[in-house]
A and B are shown apart, each in its own frame.
Chain A
Amino acid sequence: MTRAMMLVLAMLALSTCARAAEVQAAVAANFAAPMKAIVAEFEQATGHKVHLSFGASGRFYAQIRNGAPFHVLLSADEDIPARLEREGLSVPASRFTYAVGTLVLWSARTDFVDARGAVLSRGAFAHLAVANPKLAPYGAAAMETLDKLGLAAALRSKLVFGENIAQAHQFVASGNAELGFVALSQVMKDGRIAGGSAWVVPASMHSPIRQDAVILARGRGNAAAAALLRFLHQAGAVAIIRSYGYRV
């Protein structure tokens, strides 16, 4: 009798083990804060366990190609997931846009950036920080915006480049650059811009900053990986993503 009960308990334990899986996720640095919030809800809702690594998408690409143990990638752009798919390093048709980034011209000083970004054409500053346009979609969008404003040539000598959007933000936050183009998600807290002054760049000024997610070859058949990406579509997750200034 007791033996039978123990057998039942053991089977129960085994079955929950089988259902709760682990997923190793590589996530773009700009999406760190919303992802942590989403994962907390996800783990509570599903019992799956998520291990998060934050970093630059280009570096993740190199690591994935060389056998990094990631199951999913939430990239900062759409090119790298597409490339992984072409190269057979991801699960076909698992790719989708989980967030669209919003670019903002931001200064740590209050009253420095006006609501229309006219501060750019006045040019009364020494340094304008942008993320490296070659590496970061936000950097490319910033350069497109400057082009569209017809200011790219005039401001060229004032540009300083962060290796990624996090470093561009650091340059501005530390005051070393008076202003810079950063991600709205970096300066938003509780649904509003937390400090300094900002111009939210209209979406018409640059091509959309689509951030795509994909299940990687190593995540094939991993229940938690598929569940995590599905979870990003749910209302709760979408609300979190929006609250950080992304469009969905």
Chain B
Amino acid sequence: MFSAANLAAIVLTLKLASVVTLLLLLIGTPIAWWLANTRSWLKPPVEAVVALPFVLPPSVLGFYLLVSMGPNGPVGHVTQALGLGTLPFTFAGLVVGSVFYSLPFVVQPIQNAFAAIGPGLLEAAATLRARPWDRFATVALPLARPGFVTAAVLGFAHTVGEFGVVLMVGGNIPGRTQVVSVQIYDHVEALEYAQAHELAIVLMAFSFVTLLLLYAVNRRVAALGA
């Protein structure tokens, strides 16, 4: 049904989104927990930094990622010193860029879910001698589950739909950095509209089903809670 190039782009996109979502949950959860509980003056600046990708044009973000991960950039110096070479034009580079770019989509739902639990239940658990880790793992995490579902779906979907950042740092290499969104753009620019439509329909259907599932699940969870 699909051309080999389109299929490779779809597979690569799913792989990228999966890896990025997993990393985002690992990185985003402690950040969200801290933001939901801290009274530090650092909270607003950290929140602002996390939310930056909401505002910055992706191509701007991508350009500075390209420069900073390049051989003369600060990140590039570190990766080269570690013997990893430089990140642009690699799958790892796309992962790093995407994690940064989709961070707010994961942190904010989890943070909101943690904040909604309120101090009461956690304090009750503390009086029952639950240690901090216990309170987090057995009280906060289960209660925040809807937030995690939302975060995972949004993080995944946002990475699938990402364009400007991967265009800038990817180098459009088939099978390595050529994701669906870039491939669609290429088809359009090359006046291959039929191929572009084919991929766009897949992307559209995927996005709709994902969001539909998200809202259906959230509705069920809300109904159960009520």
- Chain A residues contacting B185 (CB-CB under 8 Å) are 163
Contact-residue size bin, chain A (C-beta under 8 Å from the other chain): 20 to 34
* Contact of B47 with A by CB under 8 A: no
Most buried by A among B73, B171, B186: B171
The B interface is mostly helix, strand or loop, or mixed, namely loop
**B172 and A132 form a contact (CB under 8 A):** yes
Q: Render A43-74 as a binary contact track against B, CB cut-off 8 A, 1 for contact.
A: 00000000000001011011000000000000
- Chain B residues contacting A161 (CB-CB under 8 Å) are 171-173
* Contact of A134 with B by CB under 8 A: yes
Among the 9-residue stretches A19-27, A112-120, A167-175, A191-199, the one with 4 or more Cβ atoms under 8 Å from chain B is A167-175
**B171 and A135 form a contact (CB under 8 A):** no
Q: How many A-B residue pairs have CB under 8 A?
A: 62
B 58-105 contacts with A by CB, 8 A? 63, 66-67, 69-73, 85-86, 88-89
**A59 and B172 form a contact (CB under 8 A):** no
**How far is A163 from B186 in the complex, measured between Cα atoms in Å?**
8
Between A and B, 9 residue pairs with Cβ closer than 8 Å are A59-B188, A127-B171, A135-B186, A160-B173, A161-B171, A174-B70, A175-B71, A176-B69, A176-B70
Residues of A within 8 A of B (CB): 56, 58-59, 61-62, 83, 126-127, 129, 132, 134-135, 159-163, 167, 170-171, 174-177
Instruction: Tell whether A132 pairs with B72 under 8 Å between CB atoms, given A160-B172, A170-B66.
Output: no
**A176 and B173 form a contact (CB under 8 A):** no
* Contact of B190 with A by CB under 8 A: yes
Interchain CB contact (< 8 A) of A174 among B72, B173, B186 = B72
Apart from A132-B186, A159-B173, A171-B88: 13 A-B pairs, beta carbons within 8 A:
A58-B189, A58-B190, A61-B191, A129-B171, A135-B190, A160-B172, A161-B171, A161-B172, A162-B171, A163-B182, A175-B71, A176-B69, A176-B70
